[in-house]
Structure 1
Amino acid sequence: MNCKYATLEKEHFITTVTLNNPPVNTLSSSCIGELRSLLQELATDDDTKTIILTGEGRFFAAGADIKEFVSKLGDHEQGLVLAEEGQALCDEIEALKKPVIAAINGPALGGGFELALSCHYRIVSDQAIVGLPELKLGLIPAFGGTQRLRKITGTATALDLILTSRSLSAHEAVEFNIAQQAVKEEELLKTAAALALSFVEGKSMTSVMRAVECIIQGSNESMEQGLERERKRFAELFLTSDAKEGIHAFIEKRKPDFHHS
Structure 2
Amino acid sequence: MAEDARAVAFENQNGIGVIRFQNPPLNIMTNRYVQEFQEALDWAEGTKDLKVIVLCNQGKCFGAGADVNDMKAYLESHTYVSVKMHNAITIADRLANLPVPVIGAIDGMALGGGFELALACDLRVISENGKVALTEINFDSFPGMGGVPRLIALVDYSRAMKMMLFAEELDAEAACREGVVNAVAHGETACELAMRWAAELNQKAKSGLTAVKKMAHCLQKKEQDYLYLFSQNLSREVAESGALHRQCEAFINRKKKIEK
Equivalent in the alignment of 2:218: 217
Q: 1:49 to 1:2 in 2, by over 3 A?
A: farther
Whole-angstrom CA distance in 2 between matches of 1:45 and 1:2:
20
Q: 1:80 to 1:145 in 2, by over 3 A?
A: farther
Whole-angstrom CA distance in 2 between matches of 1:153 and 1:220:
20
Map Cα deviations across residues 156-205 of structure 1 (whole Å, 9 max, x no partner): 111100111121001111111110001136242232112112223132x1
- Kept in 2, the 8 Å contact 1:43–1:98? The answer is no
Map Cα deviations across residues 26-66 of structure 1 (whole Å, 9 max, x no partner): 11122112212211212221342211011111010111111
Equivalent in the alignment of 1:55: 57
Higher helix share: 2
Is 1:143 paired with 2:145?
A: yes
Equivalent in the alignment of 2:248: none
What is the letter of the counterpart of residue 136 of structure 1?
N
Equivalent in the alignment of 2:121: 119
Equivalent in the alignment of 1:208: 209
Q: How many residues align?
A: 221
Equivalent in the alignment of 1:250: none
- Kept in 1, the 8 Å contact 2:95–2:120? The answer is yes
SS in 2 for 1:139: coil
Is 1:159 paired with 2:182?
A: no
Map Cα deviations across residues 60-111 of structure 1 (whole Å, 9 max, x no partner): 0111111112223356542342221111001001111111100000100000
| Among 188, 191, 207, the residue aligned to 1:189 | 191
Q: 1:132 to 1:85 in 2, by over 3 A?
A: same
What is the letter of the counterpart of residue 102 of structure 2?
V
For residues 1-261 of structure 1, the aligned pairs below 5 Å read 4-73=6-75, 77-184=79-186, 186-203=188-205, 205-221=206-222
1:127 deviates by: 1.5
Whole-angstrom CA distance in 1 between matches of 2:38 and 2:63:
16
What is the letter of the counterpart of residue 33 of structure 1?
Q
Structure number with greater Rg is 1
Whole-angstrom CA distance in 1 between matches of 2:54 and 2:13:
11
Whole-angstrom CA distance in 2 between matches of 1:34 and 1:217:
28
Map Cα deviations across residues 183-236 of structure 1 (whole Å, 9 max, x no partner): 136242232112112223132x133212211112334459xxxxxxxxxxxxxx
SS in 2 for 1:123: strand
Q: 1:42 to 1:220 in 2, by over 3 A?
A: closer
SS in 1 for 2:184: strand
Whole-angstrom CA distance in 1 between matches of 2:9 and 2:32:
15
SS in 2 for 1:25: coil
What is the letter of the counterpart of residue 115 of structure 2?
F
Whole-angstrom CA distance in 2 between matches of 1:99 and 1:2:
27
SS in 1 for 2:124: strand
Percent of pairs with identical residues: 27
What is the letter of the counterpart of residue 28 of structure 1?
T
Segment of structure 1 superposing worse, 38-47 or 99-108: 38-47
SS in 1 for 2:188: helix
Name stretches of at least 5 consecutive residues in structure 1 with no aligned partner: 223-261
Name stretches of at least 5 consecutive residues in structure 2 with no aligned partner: 224-260
- Kept in 2, the 8 Å contact 1:127–1:185? The answer is no
